[in-house]
Amino acid sequence: MPGKKFYLTTAIDYSNGDPHLGHALEKVGADCIARYHRLSGDRVHFLMGMDEHSQSVIQAAARASVVPREWVDRMAKTFADYWRRLECSNDDWIRTTEPRHVRGVVALLERIQQQRPDDLYVADYEGLYCTGCEEFKQPAQIVNGHCIEHPTLELIPTKERNHFFRLSAYGQRLLQLIATGAFRVEPEIRRNEVVRLLEDGLQDVSISRQRLPWGIPFPGDPDQTVYVWFDALINYLSATGFPEPGYERLWPADLHVVGKGITRFHCIIWPAMLLAAGLELPRLVWAHGYVQWEGTKMSKTAGTAVSLDTAIERHGADALRYFLVREVGFENDGNFTWDRFDARYTADLADTFGNLVSRSLAMTDRYRAGVVPTEAGESPLDAAAAETIAAYTRAMDAYDLQQGAALLIELATRANRYVEETTPWKLAKAKRDGELDQVLAHLVRTVARLAVLSGPFIPVKAEEIWTSLGADRSLASLRLADLTGLAVAGWKVSKPPPLFPKPDAD
């Protein structure tokens, strides 16, 4: 039976510099959510991509002495390579320079022109422009003459004639949709910020720029280029095939994952654009916090980036994925430090999770030639696993990835204690075979359940564990609902390779 549709997206990234840990948190977190929903049996469609029309692309290309097209091709490859290394399982990859996207942007604008012609108009605009945000900043967004998000960039005084979108007409409607839950913004702290902005009243927004050499020509006015944010937001819709028939199979999106700094675009401007075009709104926008490095936001322009290569190479991609969601989290800001990364790796992954897997499989190999005995009756581990599965489901459904990851390690800790309590090596020595059978069977079953539950976080290690379990079916074929009654008798386990090797002590 096909599951229910679950279409999720990440923000698309500017093609103006290499990805850093801040980008990685968002993509990894969204990937954990995508993998969890597949595990739940949903029909997942997971979109990632690149925002390639920004002014900063023109500048970056010029600095590299290449044309913008060559530059964005290069950057798209760089980003995609990193996301593959981090095991991102996106089903689609959209670039805003693709024809399918350009078609979607033009179609959306034309639809607004038809449905709400008064909502688009031409006017002069004068203001301070931030090239980091690619937007005009309001006085409340400026501190000491600089953009709040980009304190090292100069704001550029800009005056030009532009097309405008009557955003001011949509505040009350959006407040109602948020109040009824028809359009959700999470977590609550972000929803409150958005509600405050809406209550303060909205100003109309410029949706075109004059004669930019790199961008989508404004429909009906080739002297103007579609403003990069207006262009970029539409990627979530154009990737569904809009306006071609059939796009409704995916649209509306069930979840947009974005950073907390761009909620105004995703929770106000984007839904207003869709309302103006008579299209359905995304169900939920989840705005995560930032990765902080020594107390400041990780970003290219803030100049605090730590190399993503170094972070991946330190303990492998799975360990970095685990650390980002477990320690930094997906709701508030969190710190990244090498000390904490090493400590989590050793305590959680090597000494707890890895240790449980290796000792359980090694003892089954040693005492039962690898053949898993038949379970008879319950063990304390079954009760612990049932509680873990229920709590894990609640946490993951609420996008509490930090808690989901913590629950895995708690169950592994409980199972390690079970080994100490039951002392299988003493049972073997005393030839208490029936008892030893039970202990080994329950341990292997717990390892199997943990392999499944850990898949969203550490997909490569989960597969390695699954291979060592010698199971009678593939890991990908298992669903959460299969875990309670999971039968492991007769599986032929083998000793796993070192899952989380400790770096050489020196």
**Contact call for residue 130 and Zn ion (CB under 5 A):** yes
Site for Zn ion, residues 137 to 176, rule: CB under 5 A:
147, 149-150
**247 neighbors 237 (Cβ within 8 angstroms):** yes
Catalytic residue among 5, 260, 297, 495: 297
**Contact call for residue 132 and Zn ion (CB under 5 A):** yes
Catalytic residue among 32, 88, 130, 267: 130
**Contact call for residue 86 and Zn ion (CB under 5 A):** no
150 versus 191: smaller Cβ distance to Zn ion: 150
**Contact call for residue 133 and Zn ion (CB under 5 A):** yes
Evaluated on CA atoms 239, 244, 250, 256, the torsion sign reads positive
136 versus 341: smaller Cβ distance to Zn ion: 136
Tokens of 71: 């530059």
Q: Which residue has the tokens 């079970």?
A: 418
133 versus 465: smaller Cβ distance to Zn ion: 133
Rounded to 5°, the CA angle 229-231-234 comes to 105
150 noted as active-site residue: yes
Tokens of 3: 């599951």
Query: How many binding residues for Zn ion (CB under 5 A)?
Result: 6
| DSSP string across 417-470 | HHHHHH-HHHHHHTT-HHHHHHHHHHHHHHHHHHHHHHTTT-HHHHHHHHHHHT
CB of 316 to Zn ion, least distance (A): 34
163 noted as active-site residue: no
Cα separation, 95 vs 86, in Å, equals 20
Show the binding pattern over residues 355-394: x = contacts Zn ion (CB under 5 A), - = does not.
----------------------------------------
- Using the contact rule CB under 5 A, the part of the chain among 5-13, 76-84, 128-136, 493-501 near Zn ion is 128-136
105 versus 258: smaller Cβ distance to Zn ion: 258
CB of 58 to Zn ion, least distance (A): 17
Phi and psi angles of residue 23, each rounded to the nearest 5 degrees, phi first: -60, -40
Q: Which residues contact 301 (CB under 8 A, 6 or more apart)?
A: 132, 150, 152, 153
Catalytic residue among 32, 53, 88, 147: 147
130 noted as active-site residue: yes
37 noted as active-site residue: no
- Using the contact rule CB under 5 A, the part of the chain among 27-35, 130-138, 208-216, 324-332 near Zn ion is 130-138
**68 neighbors 228 (Cβ within 8 angstroms):** no
Classify the phi-psi angles of 246: left when phi > 0, otherwise alpha if psi is within -120 to 50, otherwise beta: left
Cα separation, 14 vs 356, in Å, equals 42
Rounded to 5°, the CA angle 370-375-380 comes to 110
- Using the contact rule CB under 5 A, the part of the chain among 126-134, 318-326, 394-402, 405-413 near Zn ion is 126-134
300 noted as active-site residue: yes
- Using the contact rule CB under 5 A, the part of the chain among 81-89, 124-132, 211-219, 456-464 near Zn ion is 124-132
Q: Which residue has the tokens 């979108």?
A: 165
Catalytic residue among 5, 150, 260, 492: 150
Catalytic residue among 32, 88, 133, 267: 133
Show the binding pattern over residues 325-354: x = contacts Zn ion (CB under 5 A), - = does not.
------------------------------
**3-state DSSP call for residue 230?**
helix
147 noted as active-site residue: yes
Catalytic residues: 20, 23, 130, 133, 147, 150, 297, 300
Residues that bind Zn ion (CB under 5 A): 130, 132-133, 147, 149-150
